[in-house]
Amino acid sequence: MEFRPCIDIHNGKVKQIVGGSLRDEGNQAKENFVAEQDSTFFAKLYQSYGIRGGHIILLNGADSHYYKETKEQAMKALAAWPGGMQVGGGICADNALEFLRAGASHVIVTSHVFQGGIIHYGNLEKLRKVTGREHLVLDLSCRRRGADYYIVTDRWQKFTEEKLTEALLEKLSGYADEFLVHGVDVEGKAGGIETELVKLLGSWGKIPITYAGGVAGFSDLEQLKLLGNNRLHVTIGSALELFGGNMPLNQVLTFCEKTAYNMA
């Protein structure tokens, strides 16, 4: 298990929000934490620890009047640590290279691929040709509907018709270097992980998968390790001391360093 840090940017500020509260209308979100520091501070901090593979997420749509500020913060973070972090939020085949050239190791994509509620394989093929599989992360963040999990798009506001299954993970793994999966229903609530989702992801585990959502303490990390068959990486947001929580970053890193990552 590796710790994968995050820099979530909303309305031009580094924040931790409740994922399911995000609304494009009025640029609204329920905030858990708003940082005084800018994105560069966090990127340099993660660099000082040598923590790679984290993600920078732009939480404003391109039509938001805050988008320019949010994008500027993302670009500053990428410049602060070239090659150290991934970036997502409004990425498509037309702008992916801009972010890669700005220093992103990977671009993270959801809505451009999952259009009209289904997978748009034409867009996926075009993206892979532009970025290469080795620089593409597919965001398969999902919400529960009945007994199953369905991928959500447009900053987690819209359900698709695509159910998250091992068969879908298998099919999409040919296009992406990694998957990023937020359990949106528990994201930002620090009230426990989405256990059934973790079991599903851990039962497959053929390429790196980063899970995010609900981690509140070290008991959740233990549960994630167990239920995910020690195959998943983890992002922690609101529960980190860094973002106003009670989990010290150095202790999280120590825990993860003692947890061997196993793809078997």
CATH at 100 = 3.20.20.70
Domain assignment of residue 180, yes or no: yes
Task: Give the predicted TM-score (pTM) of the model.
Answer: 0.91
Give the tokens for residue 217: 């303490």
The residue type at 230: N
If one compares 151 and 264, the residue with the highest pLDDT of the two is 151
Q: Would you state the pLDDT for residue 38? A: 96
With a cut of 70, say whether residue 24 has pLDDT above it: no
Tell whether 1 is covered by a domain: no
The answer as to whether 228 is a domain residue is: yes
3-state secondary structure 240-259: EHHHCCCECHHHHHHHHHCC
Distance separating alpha carbons of residues 138 and 140, to the nearest angstrom: 6
Between helix 67-80 and helix 39-49 the angle, nearest 10°, is 30
- Structural domain span for residue 103: 6-257
Domain annotation covers residue 253: yes
Residue 124, domain member (yes or no):
yes
Q: Is residue 62 domain-resident? A: yes
Q: What tokens does 228 get?
A: 């995910």
Residue 146: inside a domain: yes
What is the β-pairing status of strands 107-109 and 114-115?
Answer: unpaired
Q: What pLDDT is attached to residue 262? A: 42
Band (263; pLDDT cuts 50, 70, 90): very low
How many domains are there within the chain?
A: 1
Is 263 a domain residue?
no
- In this structure, the dihedral spanned by the alpha carbons of residues 249, 250, 251 and 255, taken in order and rounded to 10 degrees, is 100
Residue 123 is encoded by which pair of tokens?
């867009």
pLDDT (tens digit, 9 = 90+) per residue, 59-117? 888 888 899 999 999 999 999 999 999 999 999 999 999 999 999 999 999 989 998 89
CB neighbour list of residue 36: distance below 8 Å, 6 or more residues apart:
none
Residue 97 has which token pair?
Answer: 């290279």
